[in-house]
């Protein structure tokens, strides 16, 4: 269908022509359409059958400009093409962790999908101290299944190149990440967030530290040139919707083939920044303990599941029968997982700093109005970023990572950085 | 133009419709058409103006099967699509080192290009002991210009993704490399070359060596998942045509975005195998000395030219103004080049072994009829492969590489491996 922008008046007729949507909503009844927006980029509508509101779908459409800024701020609607392709791939790979698709149309830049009405955005819930009992496990499973199954270990070479080919041209959003995650936060740049105390710390401790900056470039290089697997590429706690039973991953418009550690490091960084924010949000450390446990569970489950999938895998682009003995394969797996772990710690370090210094902060911290308290938390992020980047090749196990974090936070507690409520 | 297979009777009319070809050949005269073949894959014709034989072109067309095996052996003619795209890219990047294109047609799988009549295939000439005074310098320049200018250091992110997109689906030929360079030679496989003495050495020294095999997998991983730059991806001495003044690179149908070190390591390996073959082909070591000098010149020129291009480069996907200080940039360049060097040594090691054990040998050695002498040379290749793979991260400079090779070959000379003529 040729591209037209849908609105409340044209949506009913559009949906009526889509058999799988009609299956969900039924036919003929009037529809209640609510524009909810995801804030910035796209139009998002919740659509319910008026006489039966539990029958509902979500419709998402990209427009060829930045929705929040208006038509004067052009932005290719290609982004929806990649969200559609990634969500289709994920519906094959991990159907239990992503919304079911009822309809997609690259020409129209439209997705119609399951309405996640009984789930909340994890970031907002975590700021409020809500616990999700399975979240670390779910994220770890999502990561293992998506990364393993799209890697050279989990696919044949030729089919893998064809999948990769669907994402190579997600160019604008890749460039956004290159600029706003791996570049601008680490230099003086107009786009950066500004807070004098935090800026001063960054200037004195990060932006003049050669090893730190060359470390950032190492990970920027991997982001630009390593095609390990299909990444979500924007996996933070705002891209998760969950309740006590289920976890869903959404908003995958940044998807492309990139390095293994990127999604893992980024989501763990978001748990750690939430941990830090609870020096402010919580009265005691019970929620922080839970957050740390779940952050560790992400890796533990990821590793166990990745190795499990590998064990069940036949030949792949990387390995054929008879190339390695059992002992050699065992050793290879050990080194392979260690390498992913080290890279994940490095990407975690990048993410901690960019969310602190760059344009896009985390609400967990940036929404705190008291500038002084906010600065203290921001400096914790930066200290942790520096620690992890400098040690990312020395921390070899999740237990060492956990004790490194515990030691780090113990020092935080004992220092002047502890916040009085 | 819709695909049809050209032959001697249809070529004149086809060429007559192509303005740039008419410019070279003139119009109206009869043409002498000679099928020369490049042996295996494609039809190749030399076409001369009968009344003026110095006016000539080469026409190359792929057929949808393996030419040497006939129509029963299907092979996608896509390979010509990638040869056309790579030759077009190289005509922009390094016009002095590749044949000029007079016409290309992806639909027809046809290339019409400059006839390299005054040049010989370097492999054959080197077996005969011919020296090409500038060859190391020329190859080094070709490598630096093609690799730098298509890397994230030499392009913007978005234009780079669009160039990469032209090569992602060169899937069949990438898979051939994965199988025949990085896999089969290192295991028992029906496709491998067989020579009992050499096989025995491989079995006892390489195929049971865990570190060696995991080393091979490290480089296979890079080949599968690292997109540093546009590679020729089949750069051996049979892909070079030269005379004492000029060097041309041909046959780039394997081109894709891969790791920096692959082309470099492969071409150096071919010089080293030629060196080894001259224990047999030469009466003394004078040609070997020249070969070693030129092999070292490849890297020396590559490094100098790569750094020169970098110095002249403005912003790129990787680096923006103000990110690094001058001192930091200096340090970054040093590490960057060292990393390419280490990887080149690793790929060189892979190439030495696969050309010895795999289906595709080098004529320099494999055409030697005396099995015993051939075996000795093959074992030298394998010893060198093992040495370089185990030391590829310890050899940090071209001078260390040269002295490592000199020591290695000195031992060869002193051992029973020296061949009497």
Q: Between chains, do A169 and B172 touch, taking CB under 8 Å as contact?
A: no
d(CA A237, CA A139): 10
Mean pLDDT confidence for B225-241: 98
From chain A, the residues in CB contact with B162 under 8 A are 169, 171
Tell me if chain A has a CB within 8 Å of the CB of B309.
no
pLDDT score recorded for residue A409: 96
CA of B133, closest CA in chain A: separation in Å?
36
> Does the domain spanning A120-414 belong to CATH 3.40.50.20?
no
CB-based burial, B321-351: b 16+ in 10 Å, e otherwise = eebbeeebeebbbeebbeebbbbbbbbbbbb
A contact test, residue of B316, B317, B327, B337 with most A CBs within 10 A: B317
All residue ranges of chain A with pLDDT < 70 are 37-40, 68-69, 414-421
In this predicted structure, the answer to whether residue B124 has a pLDDT above a threshold of 90 is: yes
Q: Is the pTM of this model over 0.90?
A: yes
Asked if the C-beta of B152 comes within 8 angstroms of chain A's C-beta atoms, the answer is yes
CB-CB neighbors (< 8 A) of B330 in chain A: none
The reply to whether residue A228 touches residue B225, judged by beta carbons under 8 angstroms, is yes
Disruptive mutation site among A150, A210, A224 for chain B (greatest number of B CBs within 10 Å): A224
Q: Cα(A237)–Cα(A135) distance, rounded to whole angstroms?
A: 11
Verify whether the Cβ–Cβ distance B161 to A178 is below 8 Å: no
Chain A contacts in chain B segment 204-223 (CB below 8 A) = 210, 213-214, 217, 220-221
Averaged pLDDT, B149-172: 98
Which of A174, A188, A331 is closest, CB to CB, to B210? Answer: A331
**Are A169 and B162 within 8 A, CB to CB?**
yes
Mean pLDDT score, B76-85: 94
Q: Please list every residue in chain A whose beta carbon sits closer than 8 Å to the beta carbon of residue B172.
A: 158
State residue A414's pLDDT score: 64
CA distance B318 to chain A (A): 7
Question: Which listed CATH number (3.30.200.20, 3.40.47.10, 3.90.10.10, 3.40.50.300) goes with A11-114?
Answer: 3.30.200.20
Write the residue in A226, A323, A332 that is nearest to B183 by C-beta. A323
Quickly state the pLDDT bin for B421 (edges 50, 70, 90). Answer: very low
Nearest CA in chain A to B187: A323
A227 touches B at CB < 8 Å: yes
Please, is A163 exposed, middle or buried when counting C-beta atoms within 10 Å of its C-beta (0-12, 13-18, 19+)? middle
Tell me which chain B residues have a C-beta less than 8 angstroms from the C-beta of A225.
152, 226-228
Enumerate the H helices of A104-238 as residue ranges: 122-127, 135-149, 157-165, 171-182, 196-205, 210-225
B127's tokens: 């077996």
Residue of A nearest to B333 (CA): A214
**Whether the Cβ atoms of residue B211 and residue B132 lie closer than 8 Å to each other:** no
Nearest CB to A225; choose among B210, B226, B328: B226
Spans of all domains in chain A = 11-114, 120-414
3 state DSSP class of B340: helix
pLDDT digits (tens, 9 = 90+) for B271-291: 999 999 999 999 999 999 999
Say if the ipTM goes beyond 0.90: yes
Q: For Cα atoms A212, A214, A219, give the angle at the middle one, nearest 5 degrees.
A: 95
Structure tokens, B374: 């051939």
> Which range (B47-56, B88-97, B213-222) has the least confidence?
B47-56
Q: What is chain A's percent helix, strand, coil content, to nearest 5?
A: 55, 15, 35
Any CB–CB contact under 8 A between B36 and chain A?
Answer: no
Cβ–Cβ below 8 Å for B331 and A214: yes
State whether residue B183 sits within 8 Å of chain A by CB: yes
Nearest chain B CA: its distance from A354 CA (Å): 14
Q: Indicate the burial class of B4 (C-beta count within 10 angstroms; 0-12, 13-18, 19 or more).
A: exposed
- CB-CB neighbors (< 8 A) of A328 in chain B: 210, 213-214
Query: In A, which residues are within 8 Å of B180 by CB distance?
Result: none
pLDDT the model gives residue B38: 59
> What pLDDT score was predicted for residue B416?
47
- Residue A421 has what pLDDT? 46
**How confident is the model over A31-90, as pLDDT tens digits?**
999 998 656 678 999 999 999 999 999 999 998 887 766 777 777 899 999 999 999 999
Contacts of B190 (CB under 8 A, 6+ apart): none
Helices (H), B30-169: 78-93, 122-127, 135-149, 157-165
CB-based contact, A318 to chain B, within 8 Å: yes
Handedness of CA A237, A241, A243, A245 (dihedral sign): negative
> Distance from B329 to chain A by nearest Cα, in Å?
9
**In which band, very low, low, confident or very high, does the pLDDT at B28 lie, cut at 50, 70 and 90?**
confident
């Amino acid at each position: 269908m040729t591209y037209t922008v849908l609105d409340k008046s044209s949506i009913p007729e559009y949906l009526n022509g889509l058999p799988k949507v009609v299956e969900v909503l039924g036919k003929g009844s009037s529809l209640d359409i609510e524009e909810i927006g995801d804030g910035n980029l796209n139009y998002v509508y919740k659509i319910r059958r008026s006489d039966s509101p539990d029958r509902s779908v979500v419709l998402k459409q990209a427009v060829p400009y930045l929705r929040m800024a208006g038509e004067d701020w052009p932005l290719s609607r290609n982004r929806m093409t990649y969200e559609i392709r990634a969500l289709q791939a994920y519906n094959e790979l991990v159907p239990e962790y992503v919304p079911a698709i009822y309809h997609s149309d690259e020409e129209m830049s439209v997705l119609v999908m399951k309405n996640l009405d009984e789930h909340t955005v994890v970031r907002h819930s975590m700021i409020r101290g809500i616990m999700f009992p399975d979240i670390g496990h779910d994220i770890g499973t999502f990561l293992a299944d998506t990364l393993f199954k799209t890697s050279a270990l989990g696919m044949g070479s030729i089919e893998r190149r064809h999948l990769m080919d669907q994402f190579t041209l997600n160019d604008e959003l890749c460039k956004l990440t290159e600029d706003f995650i791996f570049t601008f936060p680490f230099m003086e740049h107009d786009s950066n967030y500004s807070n004098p105390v935090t800026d001063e710390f960054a200037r004195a401790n990060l932006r003049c530290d050669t090893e730190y900056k060359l470390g950032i470039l190492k990970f920027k290089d991997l982001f630009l040139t390593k095609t390990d697997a299909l990444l979500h590429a924007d996996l933070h706690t705002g891209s998760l919707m969950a309740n006590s039973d289920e976890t869903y991953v959404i908003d995958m418009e940044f998807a492309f083939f990139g390095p293994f550690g990127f999604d893992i490091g980024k989501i763990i960084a978001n748990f750690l920044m939430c941990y830090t924010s609870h020096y402010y949000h919580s009265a005691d450390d019970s929620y922080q303990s839970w957050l740390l446990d779940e952050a560790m569970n992400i890796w533990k489950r990821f590793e166990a599941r990745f190795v499990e999938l590998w064990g069940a895998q036949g030949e792949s682009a990387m390995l054929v029968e008879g190339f390695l003995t059992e002992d050699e394969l065992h050793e290879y797996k050990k080194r392979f997982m260690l390498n992913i772990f080290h890279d994940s710690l490095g990407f975690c370090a990048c993410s901690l700093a960019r969310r602190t210094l760059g344009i896009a902060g985390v609400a967990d911290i940036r929404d705190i109005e008291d500038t002084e308290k906010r600065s203290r938390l921001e400096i914790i992020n930066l200290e942790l970023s520096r620690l992890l980047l400098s040690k990312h090749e020395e921390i070899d196990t999740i237990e060492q990572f956990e004790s490194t974090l515990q030691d780090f936070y113990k020092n935080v507690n004992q220092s002047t950085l502890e916040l009085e409520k």
